[in-house]
Structure 1
Amino acid sequence: MPYDRLWYADLPKRYAEAGITGGTGRNVGQPADTGAGTTRRPFYVDRPVLDRHRDSLVGAVDLWLDTQDPQAPAGLEGTTLREATPPLSHARSRRAVSGCTTSRKVT
């Protein structure tokens, strides 16, 4: 592998959309001088491409980052997430699974 540790940083869809509608966000691969991004493209082009890329890496990710607050990103170890995923997929609701509070701030 070409890396020692693989980190995956994600921005929730609603935050990406808010950035576009607020004029601070762009679509994936959009050059800076092409005007404002569109709110349709993230749902029909950007996210499906990014989701496939994420899914291809899921088994190798060492740290998952939630970047909704860029000043204080939250992180979850990859092994913890992979261990929590099977119980989550079989639980009646996400609240039914205990022990999923291992997220931490990354410094």
Structure 2
Amino acid sequence: MQHPPKADLVRPLGADEVVDHLREDPADGVHPYDLRTLGGLIESGALPPALDRTYPLAEVPDAVRRLRDGRVRGKIAIRVGGSGHGTRPGAEPAEGG
């Protein structure tokens, strides 16, 4: 493939190869053993998700502000139902909660 639109942006960051996921399936050529190994690492907790915080649905505006302000280190999860305030994994409730 030639250059996807943003290929020139990522090459200086060290990208040796750029895949256009709209034209190529990134799973092509992945061995099933690799996927089982990855799944096992995730299930065992050896490869935890990069989760910044979990927010209840009522606090989505706070989550969006945090994301917009660039203060997120990982993904943000939104909890639908239940109660409580936003939390980081293994942390106290989010500020203001």
Higher helix share: 1
User: RCO (CA 8 Å, sep 6+): is it higher in 1 or 2?
Assistant: 1
Tell me the TM-score normalized by structure 1: 0.28
Point out the structure with max Rg over C-alpha.
Answer: 2
